[in-house]
Amino acid sequence: MSEPAKSSYHHGDLRATLISIAMEMLERGETFSIRAVAREAGVSATAPYRHFSGREALESALAAEGLRNLKADLTRDRPQPSSLEELADFGVAYVEFALRRPALFRLMFGNECNIHDEERVRAAAEVHELLATAIAGVFPGSDPLNLALGGWGLVHGLAFLYLDRKLTAPSIEKVAAQVRASLLAVFSTGSQH
Protein backbone atom coordinates (compact mmCIF):
# COMPACT_ATOMS: atom_id res chain seq x y z
CA MET A 1 0.00 0.00 0.00
CA SER A 2 1.42 3.39 -0.95
CA GLU A 3 1.65 6.39 1.31
CA PRO A 4 -1.09 9.00 1.11
CA ALA A 5 -0.42 11.99 -1.11
CA LYS A 6 2.10 14.26 0.55
CA SER A 7 0.97 17.37 -1.26
CA SER A 8 -2.21 17.76 -3.19
CA TYR A 9 -2.61 20.05 -6.14
CA HIS A 10 -4.73 23.10 -5.39
CA HIS A 11 -5.37 25.34 -8.42
CA GLY A 12 -1.74 26.17 -9.11
CA ASP A 13 0.65 25.13 -11.81
CA LEU A 14 -0.26 21.46 -12.31
CA ARG A 15 2.66 20.82 -14.67
CA ALA A 16 5.19 22.11 -12.12
CA THR A 17 3.48 20.16 -9.35
CA LEU A 18 3.64 16.94 -11.37
CA ILE A 19 7.32 17.46 -12.15
CA SER A 20 8.07 18.18 -8.50
CA ILE A 21 6.23 15.07 -7.31
CA ALA A 22 7.85 12.87 -9.98
CA MET A 23 11.27 14.26 -8.97
CA GLU A 24 10.62 13.45 -5.32
CA MET A 25 9.49 9.93 -6.23
CA LEU A 26 12.52 9.41 -8.47
CA GLU A 27 14.95 10.59 -5.82
CA ARG A 28 13.27 8.41 -3.15
CA GLY A 29 13.96 5.47 -5.44
CA GLU A 30 10.33 4.82 -6.27
CA THR A 31 9.23 3.64 -9.66
CA PHE A 32 6.78 6.22 -10.89
CA SER A 33 4.11 6.27 -13.52
CA ILE A 34 1.79 8.99 -14.71
CA ARG A 35 -0.96 7.37 -12.64
CA ALA A 36 1.21 7.25 -9.48
CA VAL A 37 2.25 10.89 -9.89
CA ALA A 38 -1.39 11.91 -10.40
CA ARG A 39 -2.43 9.98 -7.28
CA GLU A 40 0.34 11.66 -5.26
CA ALA A 41 -0.81 15.06 -6.57
CA GLY A 42 -4.41 14.30 -5.68
CA VAL A 43 -5.71 14.73 -9.25
CA SER A 44 -7.47 12.39 -11.64
CA ALA A 45 -5.41 9.80 -13.50
CA THR A 46 -6.08 11.65 -16.76
CA ALA A 47 -5.17 15.18 -15.57
CA PRO A 48 -1.41 14.81 -16.22
CA TYR A 49 -2.06 13.97 -19.86
CA ARG A 50 -2.94 17.62 -20.43
CA HIS A 51 0.76 18.33 -19.85
CA PHE A 52 2.57 15.09 -20.73
CA SER A 53 1.78 12.65 -23.52
CA GLY A 54 3.15 9.82 -21.39
CA ARG A 55 5.92 8.71 -19.07
CA GLU A 56 8.66 9.50 -21.61
CA ALA A 57 7.50 13.11 -21.84
CA LEU A 58 7.47 13.38 -18.05
CA GLU A 59 10.97 11.86 -17.87
CA SER A 60 12.15 14.35 -20.50
CA ALA A 61 10.78 17.20 -18.37
CA LEU A 62 12.63 15.76 -15.35
CA ALA A 63 15.83 15.58 -17.41
CA ALA A 64 15.41 19.22 -18.45
CA GLU A 65 14.91 20.20 -14.81
CA GLY A 66 17.99 18.16 -13.90
CA LEU A 67 20.07 19.92 -16.55
CA ARG A 68 18.96 23.30 -15.19
CA ASN A 69 19.88 22.13 -11.67
CA LEU A 70 23.28 20.94 -12.93
CA LYS A 71 23.92 24.31 -14.58
CA ALA A 72 22.97 26.07 -11.33
CA ASP A 73 25.39 23.84 -9.39
CA LEU A 74 28.19 24.54 -11.86
CA THR A 75 27.75 28.31 -11.60
CA ARG A 76 26.79 28.61 -7.92
CA ASP A 77 29.33 30.54 -5.85
CA ARG A 78 31.99 30.32 -8.53
CA PRO A 79 33.09 32.71 -11.24
CA GLN A 80 33.51 31.67 -14.84
CA PRO A 81 36.80 29.70 -14.80
CA SER A 82 39.92 31.65 -15.76
CA SER A 83 42.48 29.06 -14.65
CA LEU A 84 42.97 25.34 -14.97
CA GLU A 85 42.35 24.93 -11.23
CA GLU A 86 39.00 26.73 -11.52
CA LEU A 87 38.12 24.57 -14.51
CA ALA A 88 38.89 21.51 -12.40
CA ASP A 89 36.42 22.86 -9.83
CA PHE A 90 33.74 22.71 -12.57
CA GLY A 91 34.56 19.03 -13.06
CA VAL A 92 34.36 18.37 -9.35
CA ALA A 93 30.96 20.09 -9.17
CA TYR A 94 29.72 17.90 -12.04
CA VAL A 95 30.76 14.66 -10.33
CA GLU A 96 29.43 15.83 -6.96
CA PHE A 97 26.06 16.56 -8.59
CA ALA A 98 25.99 13.00 -9.97
CA LEU A 99 26.84 11.50 -6.58
CA ARG A 100 24.36 13.67 -4.70
CA ARG A 101 21.48 13.01 -7.13
CA PRO A 102 22.25 9.64 -8.72
CA ALA A 103 18.74 8.70 -9.81
CA LEU A 104 18.24 12.03 -11.55
CA PHE A 105 21.70 11.91 -13.13
CA ARG A 106 21.02 8.43 -14.50
CA LEU A 107 17.67 9.59 -15.87
CA MET A 108 19.26 12.68 -17.46
CA PHE A 109 21.91 10.69 -19.28
CA GLY A 110 20.56 7.15 -19.37
CA ASN A 111 17.99 7.73 -22.10
CA GLU A 112 18.32 9.15 -25.55
CA CYS A 113 17.65 12.89 -25.61
CA ASN A 114 14.24 13.67 -27.04
CA ILE A 115 15.21 16.13 -29.77
CA HIS A 116 11.57 17.13 -30.14
CA ASP A 117 11.39 18.38 -26.54
CA GLU A 118 12.48 22.00 -26.96
CA GLU A 119 12.77 22.53 -23.20
CA ARG A 120 15.21 19.63 -22.81
CA VAL A 121 17.20 20.54 -25.92
CA ARG A 122 17.52 24.14 -24.68
CA ALA A 123 18.58 23.04 -21.18
CA ALA A 124 21.22 20.69 -22.63
CA ALA A 125 22.48 23.41 -24.99
CA GLU A 126 22.88 25.82 -22.06
CA VAL A 127 25.06 23.32 -20.17
CA HIS A 128 27.13 22.64 -23.31
CA GLU A 129 27.53 26.39 -23.91
CA LEU A 130 28.58 26.93 -20.30
CA LEU A 131 31.27 24.26 -20.63
CA ALA A 132 32.51 25.57 -23.98
CA THR A 133 32.67 29.12 -22.57
CA ALA A 134 34.59 27.83 -19.53
CA ILE A 135 37.09 26.06 -21.78
CA ALA A 136 37.48 29.11 -24.02
CA GLY A 137 38.19 31.25 -20.94
CA VAL A 138 40.97 28.95 -19.78
CA PHE A 139 42.36 28.03 -23.21
CA PRO A 140 41.93 31.08 -25.44
CA GLY A 141 42.63 30.37 -29.07
CA SER A 142 41.82 26.68 -28.66
CA ASP A 143 39.01 24.65 -30.17
CA PRO A 144 36.64 25.10 -27.21
CA LEU A 145 33.92 22.76 -28.51
CA ASN A 146 36.25 19.79 -28.92
CA LEU A 147 38.07 20.51 -25.65
CA ALA A 148 34.70 20.85 -23.88
CA LEU A 149 33.60 17.53 -25.37
CA GLY A 150 36.79 15.87 -24.15
CA GLY A 151 36.51 17.43 -20.69
CA TRP A 152 32.85 16.50 -20.44
CA GLY A 153 33.67 12.94 -21.49
CA LEU A 154 36.29 12.74 -18.76
CA VAL A 155 34.12 14.05 -15.91
CA HIS A 156 31.04 12.22 -17.15
CA GLY A 157 32.99 8.99 -17.28
CA LEU A 158 34.38 9.59 -13.80
CA ALA A 159 30.87 10.32 -12.51
CA PHE A 160 29.57 7.00 -13.81
CA LEU A 161 32.67 5.12 -12.60
CA TYR A 162 31.94 6.40 -9.09
CA LEU A 163 28.19 5.78 -9.38
CA ASP A 164 28.79 2.22 -10.58
CA ARG A 165 31.41 1.72 -7.84
CA LYS A 166 34.17 0.96 -10.33
CA LEU A 167 36.09 3.74 -8.60
CA THR A 168 35.78 4.29 -4.88
CA ALA A 169 37.00 6.81 -2.39
CA PRO A 170 36.50 6.98 1.38
CA SER A 171 34.92 10.44 1.28
CA ILE A 172 33.51 13.07 -1.04
CA GLU A 173 36.67 15.10 -0.39
CA LYS A 174 38.78 12.22 -1.74
CA VAL A 175 36.49 11.92 -4.77
CA ALA A 176 36.93 15.65 -5.39
CA ALA A 177 40.71 15.34 -5.08
CA GLN A 178 40.77 12.42 -7.54
CA VAL A 179 38.56 14.23 -10.07
CA ARG A 180 40.61 17.42 -9.74
CA ALA A 181 43.91 15.54 -10.16
CA SER A 182 42.61 13.70 -13.23
CA LEU A 183 41.43 16.89 -14.92
CA LEU A 184 44.64 18.75 -14.11
CA ALA A 185 46.74 15.86 -15.43
CA VAL A 186 44.84 15.65 -18.72
CA PHE A 187 44.49 19.37 -19.39
CA SER A 188 47.94 20.41 -18.26
CA THR A 189 49.52 17.68 -20.41
CA GLY A 190 47.48 18.83 -23.40
CA SER A 191 48.40 22.49 -22.88
CA GLN A 192 52.13 21.70 -23.05
CA HIS A 193 52.00 20.69 -26.74
pLDDT tens digits, one per residue of 75-129: 998 888 999 999 999 999 999 999 999 999 999 998 777 788 899 999 999 999 9
DSSP at 111: S
Phi–psi pair at 83, nearest 5 degrees:
-140, 165
- For helices 118-138 and 84-100, give the axis angle rounded to 10 degrees: 150
Q: Which residues, at least 6 apart from 135, have a Cβ–Cβ distance to it below 8 Å?
A: 87, 142, 144, 147, 148, 151
Question: Angle at the Cα of 50 (from 11 to 61), degrees rounded to 5?
Answer: 95
pLDDT-derived band at 1 (thresholds 50, 70, 90) equals: very low
pLDDT-derived band at 8 (thresholds 50, 70, 90) equals: low
Q: Provide Rg for the chain, Cα atoms.
A: 19
